[in-house]
Structure 1
């Protein structure tokens, strides 16, 4: 499951980078940097979690990734509703990000259950 998360979070980061480039070409820099920061942090935190020092550290890193992922959804919604991105782009990125978020939540719940048993 971690490999699926690693791949999907990396793909999400690549798509967010492209979105950021597109936004910057339209002279939108502030929101572009916000979505770029949160959208690429998810994959970086997933990678960090693979080298966690303990089960608690693993859960902690994935919990931060979960927060970054949710923040990315916020920025995507804001960009869409403020007409910076088209519905097609928004729908694709929002779906991909939501999927990563669901995987993160599932892994965190399972890891907490294992830790507490």
Structure 2
């Protein structure tokens, strides 16, 4: 699966203290949805072995979590809540990256066709969420 990166950054309007921005250049939720779909498809391609099942379960949990947690970010009740939920998304994305790297290293698991695209997209999502956390921390001061 090809990922459309568009080279754009997530931007929030100046008048939005926390919660979803009305002026985003692209829809981050759509990107997270597509990523979650790809993670599910990747886990389904892993072998039905003890290691394959364990990794698939872990990858399913952390790889689909940012999508639902992003919904929590958009419904944040305060700036502190917004920042906390952004950090959860970032933490789950970083965990997903580690599991994906493990899949890439384990020869017995095979090489899923969409692994390279997943690794590229996870790097971009991590950068987006890390930047959002930094911005939110700066705005909290």
When normalised by structure 2's length, the TM-score is 0.75
Structure 1 residue 88: Cα displacement: 5.0
Seen in structure 2, the aligned counterparts of structure 1 residues 98 and 80 have a Cα distance that, compared at 3 Å, is: same
**Post-superposition, which runs of at least 4 consecutive aligned residues in structure 1 deviate over 4 A?**
none
- CA deviation profile, 1:27-82 (whole Å, cap 9, x unmatched): 02110010110000011111111001101101100101101000000000101101
Instruction: Select which of 64, 72, 75 maps to 1:40.
Output: 64
Number of aligned pairs? Answer: 114
Of structures 1 and 2, the larger Rg is shown by 2
Instruction: Select which of 63, 68, 71 maps to 2:92.
Output: 68
Higher percent of residues as helix: 1
The residue that corresponds to 1:18 in the other structure is: 41
Unaligned runs of 5+ in 2: 1-9, 11-19, 21-25
Could you tell me how far apart the structure 2 residues matched to 1:110 and 1:85 are?
39
Could you tell me how far apart the structure 2 residues matched to 1:112 and 1:65 are?
15
When normalised by structure 1's length, the TM-score is 0.90
Contact in 1 for aligned 2:42/2:115 (Cα 8 Å): no
RMSD of aligned alpha carbons: 1.5
Could you tell me how far apart the structure 2 residues matched to 1:15 and 1:62 are?
22
Instruction: Select which of 24, 27, 31 maps to 1:4.
Output: 27
1:31 matched to 2:55? The reply is: yes
